[in-house]
A and B are shown apart, each in its own frame.
Chain A
Amino acid sequence: MTTAIRTGEVSGEVSEVRTGSLRKAFFALLRRDLLLAFRRRTELLFPVIFLLVVISLFPLGIGPSPQLLARIAPGVIWIAALLATVISLDGLFRSDFEDGTLEQFVLSGHPLTLIALAKIVAHWLVAGLPLVLLSPLLAIWMNLPLDSLGVMILTLALGTPILSLIGSIGVGLTISLKRGGQLLSLLVFPLYVPILIIATAAVMAASDGLPYTAFLGLLVAGLITSLTLAPFAAAAALKISLS
């Protein structure tokens, strides 16, 4: 079907699109996605509000003891960030898949990997970055020592892009399902285990006054690896879902 359209009447249009460079296409798509996100500002707030509500449940469920809260703070904040990311992930390709835009992207002749990467970056800017910016407030709520606050922010800044990148593969695989959201969490959470372990270890080491740079190094390594591999896997997953 793809070749038929490319060689058919629309071929002029396709070549016109192709004259734009990859960078141009990338930023055009990024701009479009951000614009669409900012047109629906309330939806933008959902992951943030979700995070706030989940975090506030922990003192209510466990008790307000400051020492206990400080002890579990890194794990609680990180697990809440994982949950918030998975909830927002479902919208990564959903609307584009449902109205056929995704198929047009495939037909545009631009590599699907690049398109996936642009959408992942947009997703992180919209859903991941607010979590990073919100983390000081969460840390104060959870009575996290102020010395380790910087490390907490750093782990979230390095870790949440990995969550978006790995999650995009799961979204690509479940996009054609009506109720893919529940399945998505089953697919994605086991893959998030290493990030959770390394990130919380870094924060705990920092609050115990131990060296933590090695953990941050591991997170950077994870970010680079997932940045190079995940868009390809996500593109392959999308191709299977669109077939």
Chain B
Amino acid sequence: MNTNVTTMTKTKPRKNWLVMFIHKLGSPPWFYNFSGKLIPWLWAAFAALTIWGLYLGLFVAPADYQQGESVRIMYLHVPAAWMSMMIYGLMAVMSFIALVWRIRMMEILTMSSAPIGAAFTIIALASGSLWGRPTWGTYWVWDARLTSELVLLFLYLGVIGLHNAIDEPRKAARAACLLAMVGAVNLPIIHYSVKWWNTLHQGSSISLTGGSSIDTSMLWPLLIMAVAAKFFYGANLLTRARVKLLEQDMRKGWVKNVVKEQSS
């Protein structure tokens, strides 16, 4: 009995620390305060890494022996393309959590992710087509990756459109979460069918990654920019989620306290 008590007191606080942290994140006022403290650091990390990565990418890294200076679009294009896919994956996981355990914070986070993901997809598409002009000789090719990126953009727009179309915030979020999950189930099928469709119609598409080896002087700026993009996502996501939270809880006590603190 006595030993039982001691082991419980020893193990319980350890377990509680993480569980409590996750539980607290689900509470709107706590999330609001916590993210408010975190956001400046995320923006700072993003700014520092972007300046460093862009310096390395635009000034230090050499031009490609085939593509010349246009290869520098890669430092924007590739991180944006990675982010567009990663955010959709994250949205699918968060939607699952939101729908199964009915956590409102997760609904808000998923819906705040969608516009950021769509923006990254547009950046990836636009920079990709600008990159295609000097290397492929045309702005747009129905290349497998461009096409699946375009379909991904449509999926994002569907989620955003559905969320905006329904007036009641929680219902809108739950419907859009379900759609995001359905899209995530379909996404691998879409990706592979488009890839395979592309090999079927041997068109004018040119494989860009002839040799997959990339020099370290080019790899470093790319990786730094990729990490910077993740910090941008984090900062932007939390900022959006805070605004959405304030909007939804407009008439609740904790928001009134926040407004009072800010105005005084």
Which residues from B are CB-within-8-Å of A169?
178-179, 182
- Beta-carbon contacts of A179-198 to B below 8 Å, as 1s and 0s? 01001001101110110011
Q: Does B78 contact A (CB under 8 A)?
A: no
Chain A residues with CB under 8 Å of chain B are: 169-170, 173-174, 176-177, 180, 183, 186-187, 189-191, 193-194, 197-198, 201, 229, 233, 236-237, 240-241, 243
Decide if B197 is an interface residue (CB 8 Å cutoff).
Answer: yes
Q: How large, as a class, is the contact surface on chain B?
A: 20 to 34
B162 touches A191 (CB 8 A): no
CA distance A183 to B179 in the complex (A): 12
- The residue in chain A whose Cβ has the minimal distance to the Cβ of B172 is A240
Are A229 and B185 interface neighbours, CB within 8 A? yes
Q: Are B151 and A193 in contact (CB under 8 A)?
A: yes
Interface secondary structure of A, over-half rule: helix
Distance (whole angstroms) from the CB of B223 to the closest CB of chain A: 31
State whether A193 touches B194 (Cβ < 8 A). Answer: yes
- How distant is B183 from chain A, measured CB to nearest CB, in Å? 7
Partner of B190, one of A173, A176, A177, A193: A193
Interchain CB contact under 8 A, A186 and B178: no
Is B186 in contact with A187, judged by CB distance below 8 angstroms? no
The residue on B at minimum CB distance from A194 is B193
B158 CB–A CB distance under 8 Å: yes
Q: Are A237 and B178 in contact (CB under 8 A)?
A: yes
Q: Can you list the 6 inter-chain pairs with the closest CB atoms, starting with the nearest?
A: A194-B193, A190-B154, A187-B158, A197-B197, A197-B193, A240-B174
With both beta carbons as reference points, the residue of chain B lying nearest to A175 in the complex is identified as: B175
> Contacts of B179 on A, CB cut-off 8 Å?
169-170, 173, 187
- Chain B 218-234 interface mask (CB, 8 Å, partner A; 1/0): 00000000000000000
**CB of B60, distance to nearest CB on chain A (Å):** 40
Does chain A have a CB within 8 A of B200? yes
Q: List residues of chain B with CB under 8 Å of any chain A CB.
A: 99, 151, 154-155, 157-158, 161-162, 165-166, 171, 174-175, 178-179, 181-183, 185-186, 189-190, 193-194, 196-197, 200
B189 contacts A194, C-beta separation under 8 Å: yes
Provide the bound-state CA to CA distance between A191 and B182, in Å.
9
- Which residues on A sit within 8 Å (CB–CB) of B166? 176-177
With a cutoff of 8 Å between Cβ atoms, the chain A residues found around residue B178 in the complex are 169, 173, 233, 236-237, 240
Complex partner residue of B162 from A187, A193, A243, CB under 8 angstroms: A187
User: Which chain B positions have C-beta within 8 A of A183?
Assistant: 158, 161-162, 165
Chain A residue contacts of B165, Cβ below 8 A: 174, 177, 180, 183
Whether the pair B154, A186 counts as a contact (CB closer than 8 A) is: yes
- A170–B157 CA distance with the chains assembled, in angstroms: 14
A176 to B151, CA, bound (A): 26
In the assembled complex, which residues on chain A have CB atoms less than 8 Å from the CB atom of B182? 169, 191, 233
